[in-house]
Each structure stands twice: as C-alpha cells, then as structure tokens.
Amino acid sequence: MAKTPLSPAAWIDAGLDQLAKLGPQALRAEPLSRHLKTSKGSFYWHFKDVPAFQAALLEEWKARTMATLAEDDAMDGSSTDKLIRFGQSVQADVAGPALRAWAQADASVAKVLAQVDAARIARLTDLMRTIGIKNEDFSKAAFGTLIGLQQTHLDDGDGLVAYAALIDVVLANA
C-alpha cells in the first residue's frame, strides 16, 4: 500500500515541532525527512530549498500567532480574563523560545519575531488600558515576564501563575 504524500502543511507542522524540541538546526531536509520517515524528495517536491522552507515556516508561525491574537480579541470576558488568556496564548507558543534563539543569528527571523512581538505588546497595551493602566511600560514588563519565564525555563509549568501574580499587582495599583 502506497504511503500518503505529505503536504507542505505537514512539513511545516513537523518543522515547528522539531524547532521547539531541537532548535533551528533541525530545520533542514535530512533531519526532517528522518523525523517524518520519508525521503528528502518529498521535502524538495514542496519547497525549492531549505531557505524557502524556513521562510514558509516563519510565515506560518506568524499567521498562526496573529490569528490567535485576533481570536482572543474577539472572545468575551472580563479584562482580567482577557489578560490571562493573552498570557496563556504566549505560554502555549512552544516554538517561541527556539525562534528567539534563532533570531539572534538570523535577521529575517528577528524581523518576523519583532513584528509578532509588536502586535502582542500592542494587544497587551490595549488590554491594560481597559483596566486603566495607560503606561505602556507595564505592558512591556508583563510581556517580558512571559517571555523571560519561557526563556529561562523557570516556569516549570507555572509560568502563567507568575504572570497572573504580576497582573494582580498591576490591578491592585490601578
């Protein structure tokens, strides 16, 4: 029985998974082919080369992240609920830490990451304004907390608890 051909989306999903687990060095045809138990020919059927694949992966990550921001924005709930949901979406981005490390050595990755970070900070700033916090520095500090907990691996599953504690302090002083 013939194996079902992989789609570009399957390659990108595998790439995001492997990026999160192994870092950007896993985003090449050979290791991804081994991971998916298929030939490199399948990879090159969908992507001209590794840089084209990496660009598609970045665009897909950005599209998914921006879609999550839009979905969260459209959901009902209190401002506190929305702040917590925002934190959950950032913490759920398991590729984020690896993308940040990759961005240190690749300007195109840094550019996409900066675009997503700007959108996330803008969303968080809007949420903070709904509770009366007009100083954007609070938003930057809260976002930095989320990112920092991911990067330092100090969250041990409770990163959102630390973020919620920060939000509670902000709310108490609003």
Q: How many whole angstroms separate alpha carbon 52 and alpha carbon 144?
A: 31
The H or E element spanning position 82 is: helix 79-91
- pLDDT class of 163 with cuts at 50, 70, 90: confident
- 153, pLDDT greater than 70: no
The answer on pLDDT for 172 being more than 80 is no
pLDDT reading at 2 higher than 50? no
pLDDT, averaged across the chain = 89
Read off the pLDDT of residues 50-87 as tens digits, 9 standing for 90 and up: 999 999 999 999 999 999 999 988 889 988 889 989 99
- pLDDT tens, position by position, 94-124: 899 999 999 999 999 999 999 999 999 999 9
pLDDT class of 3 with cuts at 50, 70, 90:
low
Between the alpha carbon of residue 79 and those of residues 49, 98, 118, the distances in Å are 45, 30, 20
Q: How far apart are CA 165 and CA 161, in angstroms?
A: 6
pLDDT of residue 5: 73
What pLDDT does 131 receive? 86
CA distance 21 to 65: 19
Rounded distance, CA 128 to CA 107, Å? Answer: 31
Domains of the chain: 8-172 (1.10.357.10)
Per the CB < 8 A criterion, the answer to whether 18 and 12 are in contact is: no
The residue-averaged pLDDT of 13-17 equals: 96
The alpha carbon torsion through 37, 43, 46, 49 (nearest 10 deg) reads 160
What share of the chain has pLDDT > 90, as a percent?
64
Confidence band of 1 (pLDDT split at 50, 70, 90): very low
* Pick from 75, 73, 72, 47: nearest CA to 60: 47
Hey, CA dihedral for 16, 109, 141, 147, is it positive or negative? positive
State the residue for tokens 């981005």: 93
pTM, entire model:
0.88
Average pLDDT over residues 19-34: 95
Above pLDDT 70, what percent of the chain? 93
